[in-house]
Structure 1
Amino acid sequence: MTLGDASRLKEGDLVLLLSPAKGETYLVRLQPGAVQGSHLGKIPHDTILDSGYGETIYTHLGRPFLVLKPSLGEYTRRLKRNTQIIYPKEAGYLLLHLDVFPGATVVECGSGSGSFTTILATFVGPSGRVVSYERREPFSELARSNCERFGVADRVVFKVRDLDGGEGFDEEGADAVFLDLQNPWEYIPEAKRALAPGRRLGILVPTFNQIQQTLEALEANAFVQIEVVEILLRGYKTNPRRIRPEDLMVGHTGFLIFASSVTCAHPEVLVDAASNEACGTPSDVAPLAEDVGEEDGEVLPASRE
């Protein structure tokens, strides 16, 4: 076996071991001298360290396992948790619609078990920062531990604080804010103060009742471009001779709410979300898109995913 130094596994690496026969998988942090047990035999970590991603190793009973590089989704699905986590089907949509980018500052309220904290920290990169608020210290410590295990804890500032006490967020001008709370509508004013104008707020709630109260609070605090979505995920069996949907699917796990923060000098131009009619149009407002001629630039139609 010839592997470049960059391809070799080393102490502390995360690997996913897959049994091709049984489909069993194990997420393992490599430590010299340690042993991973399985139904198919023992797997010394030293054996894994002598291999590389994509290679085959064998248990002491001679049963094969494939060494794979775990995805971020695989890691967050398996991390230790005390709370419900953000599912991968929501996490990807959140990243796109919160516009999380390398170098961004993101404020999260509700660290939970650190699943989405880990994802945010991965995508803001080494130059970015995630500030994660949690009112329960044991949960904050678990979130920190899970971020450390994936190697991104140095990008996260963990703060234990109950915002009900009136302190609010310390940050201003954040590129994105995400609320994962039982009563997010009570924190909308604080989120607006923390968020840079024009940037996005994201919220996760599980019930219709929470959606209603959250929408009312967003309208009252001059948020626009409000969107509510639910994402359902259905997998398919991969037998090429019997392709069909899986018997079970990942259905409702939560509703996602998005909104953009604006500093409105003319509140009367905001759209009434309930009636979808403009409340008023001052004389200095630009003409509607359909009034702009081709010579003034291309008008792109809005689309929904």
Structure 2
Amino acid sequence: MPEYGKLVILINPRGKRYLRRVVEGQDMHGNDGIIAMSDIAAADFGTEVRSTKGVPYRVLEPTIHDLVRGVKRQTQVIYPKDIGYICMRLGVGPGRTIVEAGSGSGSLTLALSWFAGPTGRIYTHEAREEFMKLARRNLDWAGLGENVTLIHRDIAEGFDVTGADALFLDVRTPWEYLDNAVKAVKSGAMLGFLLPTVAQVSQLLHGLERGPFDEIEVSEILVRRWKPVADRLRPEDRMIAHTGFLVFARHQERSADWDSFRKLGTRERKQEAARQERLGLGGDGEAGGVDDADFVE
């Protein structure tokens, strides 16, 4: 059953969800009548309580999905569909040290704290003090954050961490901070980035190809729900589509010996020659014209 001071989810028969804290004497008032907080505190999770009008409400324990969606926000937050993939790609978990910037309203910070657990450490950087304070309030509200250190700092001055296992940047111009990012993580660490536009992704890719990075990935995550009717199964009319581009790369020094063993096809040789030309390293003369064959998978 919910303890006083903890958060609960209340759901009415129409599917309306309420995220509330169990506080003695603070009964819930609404169109369905009044639900006594003492009834909520005495109920087991998964059971029902009734309002003064006899309307049943289910009492459920909030998940991390509920908490992320419930944060107070002054900034654009990262969606749960993206957060799950970010945490998987960065390997967030017990005993891991993760660096983040900027904190914003703290939706990702909250999830990082939950996934890392008591033995993990999260260091989140935010240049604007009002956002840092909001992130701390959201962590306290969710009952998380004991493993989080909030740092009021412009990452142009560097990160306050070294030897981290992974790093995530949600900033406008991440390519400007790649040198500092490399100093903050260990060799082989994963780095992630969130960007809203194609132009920003392109600029970041130019920055990544100049540094010690490999295994670069660009992706977006779309979620289309289906109507759960067994004999008339079909997609819902609306979907959660593009919310941002996710870019991932591994901190990895390149070596001539490694590159000499890579097997490149025609397209890859042209791309590598173009990359070397952009970097002023000279190409092998195969970065010339492009024909239709270059687009055959």
With structure 1 as the length reference, what TM-score do the two structures score? 0.83
Shift in alpha-carbon separation, 1:276–1:151, aligned structure 2, 3 A: farther
- The aligned runs of 1:213-228 (5 Å cut-off) are 213-228=203-218
1:199 paired residue number: 189
Q: Over the residues paired in the alignment, what is the CA RMSD in angstroms?
A: 2.1
Separation (CA, whole Å) in 1 of partners of 2:200 and 2:87: 22
Q: Which whole-Å CA distance do the structure 1 matches of 2:244 and 2:165 have between them?
A: 23
Q: Which moved more, 1:116-125 or 1:154-163?
A: 154-163
Distance 2:139 2:257 in 1: 42
Which ranges in structure 1 are unaligned for 5 or more consecutive residues? 1-7, 281-305
1:142 to 134, 140, 151: 134
Residue 167 of structure 2: aligned partner: 177
Q: 2:62 aligns with which of 70, 73, 93?
A: 70
Residue aligning to 1:212: 202
Aligned to 2:8: 15
1:176 to 1:70, Cα distance in 2 relative to 1, 3 A: same
Distance 1:148 1:239 in 2: 39
Q: CA deviation at 1:188?
A: 1.1
1:51-66 equivalences in 2 (<5 Å): 51-66=43-58
- TM-score, normalized by length of structure 2? 0.86
SS in 1 for 2:233: coil
Cα distance between partner residues in 1 of 2:153 and 2:257: 33
- How many residues in Structure 1 have an aligned counterpart in Structure 2? 269
1:112 to 104, 111, 117: 104
Task: Give the distance between the partners of 2:116 and 2:159, measured in 1 at CA.
Answer: 19
Alpha-carbon distance in structure 2 between the residues aligned to 1:9 and 1:192: 44
Summarize the Cα distance change of 1:140–1:267 in structure 2 as closer, same or farther, 3 Å threshold: farther
Q: CA deviation at 1:189?
A: 1.0
Q: Does 1:262 align with 2:252?
A: yes
- Does structure 2 conserve the Cα–Cα contact (< 8 Å) formed by 1:228 and 1:257? yes
Q: 1:269–1:279: 8 Å Cα contact kept in structure 2?
A: no
- Percent identical: 42
After superposition, the Cα gap between the structure-2 partners of 1:253 and 1:267, relative to the gap in structure 1 and judged at 3 Å, is farther
1:202–1:257 CA contact under 8 A, matched in 2: yes
